[in-house]
Amino acid sequence: MKKLWIGTNWKMTKTIAEGIAFTTRLKQISETLPSAIQLFIIPSHTALVPIKEFTSDSSIYLGAQNMHWEDGGAYTGEISPRMLAEMGLDLIELGHSERRQYFNETDEAINKKVHAALAYALKPLICIGENADHKHYHISKETLASQLKISLHGVSKQQAKNVLIAYEPVWAIGEQGVPADAAYVAEIHDFLRQTLIGLFEEVGLEIPILYGGSVNHDNFLEYSKLENVDGLFIGRAAWDIEQFKEILTQLGAQAAQKKSYIG
């Protein structure tokens, strides 16, 4: 059964107490959704252990926002894949544009992290996205192909079955972000699918490609209906659990109707 991946990156917003309150309510909501919806949450590192206690008897996947690629060592302030795997996490978000922009993360570093994640059975959720200049000069596809090819360098077809991609155009993310047109998202996701097929042949068809960047109550249904959009990665519009519930309820109804998400 094809899944629709719906998740939220909390960025640096929620305390442990706030995260637990959110997760407790999300668990209740998740029980009303069709199993075709695969929920996931990406809290701050501090909240992962306490929140794991709440998600472990649910279908909600839990992920971290970043990690180092080394198992351990003299890297003050970092957290290793071995430590995240010990927590029993499902996902690791890698290469978010805020990490690229503020912490100078490169595709080469992300590639090392992807390999480290796969070695520890953490599913890498690799974020890629062109910036406004790339879009202006019509080199979005070149940028995205290069981000994909470098971050997935050396990944085998077998390993690729555990990878997820989030397309998040930099110009669409956050307070200053401008939501992307659905037609543009469709064109880019089709291109990403072809690039993944080029890299992994038939396995490229299975890799979920999520869309993120100013997903909100006005546009989420449009994006989620697109053929090569396998999920949504949401920031601000999902941080209030009752607002997130509105989105989830409608996506649940849509998934229940959509043939490709059943059986």
User: Catalytic residue positions?
Assistant: 96, 168
| CA-CA-CA-CA dihedral for 42, 223, 138, 173, to nearest 10 | -40
Options 4, 5, 6, 9; binder of ligand 13P; rule CB under 6 A: 9
Sequence letter at residue 84: L
Judged by CB under 6 A, the chain residues 195 through 254 that form the site for ligand 13P are 212-215, 233-237
Closest distance of CB 177 from ligand 13P, Å = 5
Q: Which residues contact 150 (CB under 8 A, 6 or more apart)?
A: 107, 108, 110, 111
Smaller CB distance to ligand 13P: residue 7 or 252? 7
Dist. CA 137–CA 143, nearest whole Å: 11
- Contact, 11 vs 64, CB < 8 A? no
| Closer residue to ligand 13P in complex, CB, 200/209 | 209
Q: Which of residues 92-131 bind ligand 13P (CB under 6 A)?
A: 96
Least distance in Å: CB of 104 to ligand 13P?
Answer: 18
Taking the C-alpha atoms of residue 33 and residue 63, their distance in angstroms, rounded to an integer, is 20
- CB neighbours of 32 closer than 8 A, spacing ≥ 6? 249, 252
The Cα–Cα gap between 211 and 251 comes to 14
3-class secondary-structure state, position 61: strand
Q: Draw the binding track, 156-195, toward ligand 13P (x: CB under 6 A; -: no contact).
A: ------------x----xx--x------------------
- C-beta nearest to ligand 13P: residue: 235
Name the minimum Å distance from CB 212 to ligand 13P: 4
Rounded to the nearest whole angstrom, what is the least distance from the CB of residue 173 to ligand 13P in the complex?
4
Tokens in use for 41? 């949450």
| Nearest residue (CB) to ligand 13P, 86 versus 240 | 240
Considering beta carbons, is residue 81 or 169 the nearer one to ligand 13P? Answer: 169
Positive or negative torsion for Cα 119, 166, 67, 100: positive
CB of 202 to ligand 13P, least distance (A): 28
33-92: contacts with ligand 13P (CB under 6 A): none
Task: Residue 133: count other Cβ atoms within 10 Å of its Cβ.
Answer: 11
Q: CA dihedral in degrees (242, 244, 246, 250; nearest 10)? A: -150
CB-nearer residue toward ligand 13P: 50 or 174: 174
Interface with ligand 13P by CB under 6 A: which residues? Answer: 9, 96, 168, 173-174, 177, 212-215, 233-237
